Amino acid sequence: MSSFWFASVLSALSLGAIRAAAFDNSRADNVAVYWGQNSYGATHSDTANFQKSLSTYCQDDSIDAIPIAFLNVFFSTGGLPSIDLSNICSTVDDPVFPGTSLPDCSFMASDIEFCQSKGKIVTISLGGATGGASFTDASQAEAFGDTIWNTFLGGSSSTRPFGGAVLDGIDLDIEGGSTVHFDAFVNRIRSHASGANKKYYVTAAPQCPFPDAYLSTVLNAVAFDAVYVQFYNNYCGLSESQSNPNDWDFDLWDNWAKNTAISKDVKIYIGAPASSSAAGSGYVDASTLANVALQARSQYSSFGGVMLWDASQAFANNRFDAAIKSALKQGGGAPSSSQPVTVSTSSVSTVSTTAPSTTTSHSTTAQPTTTAKAGNCAGVNAWVSNVAYNGGDTVIYNGHLWTAKWWSYGDVPGGNFPARVASSPSASPRLIGCHLVLGAAGDWTDSGACSSFAAAVPTAHFAAKPAKVVSAPTGV
């Protein structure tokens, strides 16, 4: 009997039995952090701070929601989508399901379930700056909703990249192309979720100019649980608003949430770069961001928290995520008046800690998106394994600017792909089309180190040219 009792206790203490407090979307102190693109690795060469396994970022309560970035190709080989998770899982050095370009990342299932056991939600983010994302009609969009449900959420399929792990929803980070028929896609997901035994979330990450050029139509057409507004890489960014408070437009997003959004319970997050090298512009230190967030929370009931891009940058920047979470928790999770706070951090530069004053008066002259100008990596996206490039295209990889010599797909710039985390499969060269991957094809020319990491723009969250079709040209 005693041995049986002891075994029962051990079972009760297992990962699946002891769960942290469940994620609460109604709170005003949540922190959402994107993971998957190794943003730090795109602009730096010190591998010690490169993106780690997902569970690394779930060890404490600093992060509440983790969108996995990105599912960047909707219809790839075999009609299935493709995902790229940089140095963790991709088509370059992980096996793909037969007849598809969808990598088998099932080794991540335990990481996802561990994070969920800690009360966090883990979703799949669709799009990104290099994403190939569009639908020809509503029927295609609905069918894609079925695919996503069966492949990542509560359905079933023989091609589930995360194995038995069931994600908690979807995130739309559409920064190019067309969002026509996305309402049909989201409604299909909602329809599947309505009969499920768990809550599924739908979020979006528009850029701060209101209304967003790509997502405004779908935002107005279907219900969203949270909107992670990107207050960076634009004139209305956090740093820009310090000098011109009239450009700060959180009030417009709050008004949308209260008067236009389908769900009046939608939460608006302040999206911010987690370090100076995480975006082309918009970075402010933790104290400044904390005070901006607390002021917004005291004035706008739609405020839900802070979104950060991304996990690798936040951890390398003296746990930027933990600093922001600590500040948000000072006033509790409900909207309330807040006093200025000072966040202790030694790795960020000091800038003004005055939050942008709130006003309903905004500039009437249209202002262009801010583009980083310093350094030869300004406005350049990070290399992505499942996107095809033409000769002359430029990418960032390991802190260097690389130029494609000719058409390239799956060839790692320099042939020095970052070391994998211990839980992932080892990398090995293999033939894709007519190119041997892992740098063996020599498709890229090293154009030199980025002269300013602050100017380098990671793969996500920046307006970029549309992704090219992933197919080999004739005659190769």
Q: Which residues are the active-site residues?
A: 175
Record the tokens describing residue 267, joined without a space: 């939460």
3-class SS letters over the chain: CHHHHHHHHHHHCCCCCCCCCCCCCCCCCEEEECECCCHHHHHCCCHHHCCCCHHHHHCCCCCCEEEEEEEEECCCHHHCCEECECCCECCCCCCECCCCCCECCHHHHHHHHHHHHCCCEEEEEEEECCCECCCCCHHHHHHHHHHHHHHHCCCCCCCCCCCCCCCCEEEEEECCCCCCCHHHHHHHHHHHHHCCCCCCEEEECCECCCCCCCCHHHHHHCCCCEEEEECCCCCCCHHHHHHCHHHCCHHHHHHHHHHCCCCCCCEEEEEEECCCCCCCCCCCCHHHHHHHHHHHHHHCCCEEEEEEECHHHHHHCCCHHHHHHHHHHHCCCCCCCCCCCCCCCCCCCCCCCCCCCCCCCCCCCCCCCCCCCCCCCECCCECCCCCEECCCCEEEECCEEEEECCCECCCCHHHCCCCCCCCCCCCCCCEECCEECCCCCCCEEEEEECCCHHHECCCCCCCCCCCECCCCCCCC
Closest residue by Cα to residue 324 from 22, 33, 20, 58:
33
Using alpha carbons only, give the angle 13, 14, 20 rounded to the nearest 5 degrees.
75
What is the spatial distance between Cα 180 and Cα 134, in angstroms, rounded to a whole number?
Answer: 7
What is the spatial distance between Cα 342 and Cα 123, in angstroms, rounded to a whole number?
Answer: 32
273 — phi, psi (to 5°)?
A: -70, 140
Q: Which amino acid would we find at residue 306?
A: V
Residues in the chain: 476
Residues 6+ apart with CB under 8 A from 443: 389, 404, 405, 406, 408, 411, 413, 435
What is the spatial distance between Cα 270 and Cα 254, in angstroms, rounded to a whole number?
Answer: 11
What is the spatial distance between Cα 476 and Cα 267, in angstroms, rounded to a whole number?
Answer: 50
